Amino acid sequence: MTTNRVKPVENQLARELLNCSRDVIVALDEQGVILVVSDSISKTFGWSPEEVVGKAYGIFFDDSCVTSSNEYLAESFDSEPNPVQPLIAKRVDGSCFPCELSLHRLSSAETNACYLGVLRDVSALSESRKSLRNNLERLNKTRRALKRKEYELIASQKNVYRARQAKSEFLANMSHEFRTPMTTILGYTELLRENLYSANQEDLVEIIHKNGTHLLQIITDILDISKIEMGDFEILKHECSLETILQVVVSDFLKPAREKGISIFTQIAPDVPEQIITDPVRLEQVLWNLLSNAVKFTESGRIDVRVKVCPSPTKEQMVQFEIADTGIGIPTEKLKRIFEPFSQVDNSSSRNYGGTGVGLALCKKLVQLLGGHLSVQSKVDQGSLFCVSLDHHAEVHSQNREDAAGLVREVVSGVPQGQQPSGQKKQLGGAKGKVLLVDDTKEIRTLFSYMLNKMGIEVETASNGQEAVTLLNQFSLQRSAFDMILMDMQMPVMNGYEATQLIRQQGYQLPVIAITAHSLITDREKCLAAGCTEYLSKPIRYEVLHEVVHCYLSQNAAILSH
Ligand code: ADP
């Protein structure tokens, strides 16, 4: 502690207080001459207290701050308390550092000290401020980049949505374009079948029908796989008879297997429940595909279709369908990719077997949607075994089969000699009524008219929605004018959706059955929302049309009595 024209700080406590501060504490006279300075001056500035006492306090600052330090001194004389002043301090070696100075005017007249100053080295603080500023800047940059990414993401989401939308529309149109001619081809082939003159013609028509059905199968498989990929695929699970499913599937292959000299044996183990909860249409589709391959790729021997119950990794048991053949088998290295779309063991131009390579990929996806899994084991020239395992969710029904005592049930077996009957045709009853048939394709109008007439039903036709509405108005919406409307949904002038809405608004209460060549879930919902009673997807087989028409005509009496 050094003094000049002030009395030395004699009080021991006061001296220690002054010197224990890390800041530099200084007393100045009115002109800013240093009178007393704390020992911390040495550590902060490199001067000894004696070296600075008697000098102007501007010695502490860099030349750039001389003016501002003098102004601050003058201001501090009048204003009390004066705010802290940031300045650049200069050490004895000429190096600079940021500091903060606060000056207080002293009121005591005891000494000639006029100001008490506290000078603080804020280098560390300003370093952290600087790094905080940098971090803030970086943060802002990141925030801006994030915002940009968000916009990009939203834009690409919109693109994905638009692409999905376009794909969906394309699929719907494709579906329409494929199914409309297929409806005509298959429908007319069915008609031809019934009006044959010679056995020779029968063979020809059979060929057309077989190939048409095959083509439709391919189209359906490709559309189905696209629909699954788009998430536009409906699974409708309910309790259904396992035996019926097997019968439907196996009976389709008895004849082709017989022609190749192969036997199909079907066995259901006794502990397999009679009813399972699943989507029977989709399960049939899977088993149909697998059996179709088994027949296609087997030249001799046998095909076994077995159903059994097996334990599952979860608590529930699983029903397992096995389709085993003694065919050409699949090489081990090809097995890994066999469930990938368009994957075929032999895809050369000289291959022996036709096919698209879509069937197994579709089966895999369908089985997953059904809540199960599909696997395969195979050996070249020995045969293949495809297994479909499903959670059956249903208890074994109480009415046990006669043969449940341990015997295996044999449902449908095909033997080369062909003693087994193929799928029985349902006996169709007659129906009465008058139907308004609305479709823009002339061939379809002729076909469906023929089918309906065959059922004993009178038919009036219209070629678009507008014509249908006009016709209904002409008949003044008489309650008995038309017992049912069969409405194509995609038509020029006025489509089926608009026409149905209009007809419903005008008070028509009887069934309107939508007929569409699209087959997406959304179409079904759209048809029902427009006011349709039921939805049928083209191509429609005679039996299906008969069943629907018959069912709704018999319900009409109940509707009209209300
Ligand atoms: P596709 O039969 O139309 O070619 P799939 O997806 O049903 O298409 O089958 C893909 C390929 O898997 C077939 O081309 C064939 O090489 C092989 N494959 C499928 N099932 C069998 C089978 N039971 N025996 C031998 N090979 C089979």
Which pair of structure tokens corresponds to residue 315?
A: 């608590």
Q: How far is Cα 179 from Cα 186, in angstroms, rounded to an integer?
A: 10
Cβ(330) to ligand 1 under 6 A?
yes
Q: Distance, CA 176 to ligand 1 centroid (Å)? A: 28
Helix (H) or strand (E) holding 133: helix 123-194
Atom of ligand 1 nearest to the CA of 346: 16
CA atoms within 13 A on the CB side of 273: 20
Alpha carbon of 264 to ligand 1 centroid (Å): 18
Cβ contacts of 359 within 8 Å, gap of 6 or more: 221, 289, 292, 293
Q: 3-class DSSP state for residue 64?
A: helix
Count CB-CB contacts under 10 A for residue 391.
Answer: 18
Tokens at 24, concatenated: 């530099």
Q: Decide: helix, strand or coil at residue 207.
A: helix
Ligand 1 centroid to residue 388 C-alpha, Å: 16
| DSSP 8-state secondary structure symbol assigned to residue 405 | G
Q: What is the number of the ligand 1 atom nearest to the C-alpha of 347?
A: 14
325 in ligand 1 pocket by Cβ < 6 Å? yes
Nearest CA to ligand 1 atom 20: 293
Ligand 1 mutation pick, 287, 330, 379, max ligand atoms within 8 A of CB: 330
Q: How many CB atoms lie within 10 A of CB 401?
A: 14
The H or E element containing residue 373 is strand 372-379
- Work out whether strand 275-278 and strand 318-325 pair parallel, antiparallel, or are unpaired: unpaired
The minimum-distance atom of ligand 1 relative to the CA of 327 is 24
| H runs (alpha helix) in 430-519 | 442-454, 465-474, 496-505
For ligand 1, atom 11, which residue shows the shortest CA distance?
344
Verify whether ligand 1 is closer than 6 Å to residue 377 (CB atom): no
Whether 384 is in the pocket of ligand 1, judged by its Cβ within 6 Å, is: yes
Q: Give the nearest ligand 1 atom to 345 CA.
A: 16
CA 15 from centroid of its chain's CA atoms? 79
Q: pLDDT by residue for the chain (562 residues), tens digit each?
A: 444 455 555 667 777 777 888 899 999 998 899 998 999 999 999 999 999 999 999 999 999 998 999 899 888 887 666 789 999 999 999 999 999 999 988 876 667 788 899 999 999 988 998 999 999 999 999 999 999 999 999 999 888 888 877 776 777 677 777 777 888 888 888 878 777 666 667 777 777 777 788 788 878 887 888 778 777 778 888 888 888 899 889 988 998 999 999 999 999 998 888 888 899 989 999 999 999 999 999 999 999 999 999 877 665 778 999 999 999 999 999 898 899 877 777 766 555 676 777 889 999 999 999 989 999 999 999 999 999 998 766 544 434 444 433 334 444 444 333 333 333 344 445 567 899 999 988 888 888 898 898 888 999 999 999 999 999 888 765 556 888 999 998 888 999 999 999 999 988 888 999 988 766 656 778 889 999 998 888 778 788 888 889 888 887 755 555 5
Taking the CA of residue 323 as reference, the ligand 1 atom at the shortest distance is 23
Q: Is 326 in the pocket of ligand 1 (CB under 6 A)?
A: no
Backbone angles phi, psi at 26, to 5 degrees: -140, 145
| Cα torsion angle, 42, 47, 52, 56, sign | negative
- CA 341 to centroid of ligand 1, rounded, Å: 11
Please report the atom of ligand 1 found closest to the CA of residue 360.
Answer: 6
Distance CA 493, CA 477 (A): 21
Q: Are 277 and 238 a contacting pair, CB within 8 Å?
A: yes
* Gap between the Cα atoms of 104 and 117, Å rounded: 6
Q: What is the pLDDT of residue 37?
A: 92
> What CA–CA distance (Å, rounded) separates 129 from 550?
85
Residue 114 in 3-state DSSP? Answer: coil
CB atoms within 10 A of CB 259: 11
Output the pLDDT for position 152.
Answer: 92
10 Å Cβ neighbour count for 347?
A: 10
Q: Which pLDDT value is given to residue 199?
A: 62
Residue-level pLDDT at 20: 82
358 backbone dihedrals φ, ψ, rounded to 5° = -100, -30
Buried/exposed 44-73: b ≥16 CB within 10 Å, e otherwise: bbebebebbbeebbbebbbeebeeebeebb
* CA-closest residue to ligand 1 atom 13: 344
**For the CA atoms of 346, 348, 350, 353, what is the dihedral angle to 10 degrees?**
30
- H or E, element range at 49: helix 49-52
Question: What is the chain's Cα-based Rg?
Answer: 46
- Residues 363, 321: contact at Cβ < 8 Å? no
Residue 313 backbone phi and psi in degrees, to 5: -60, -30
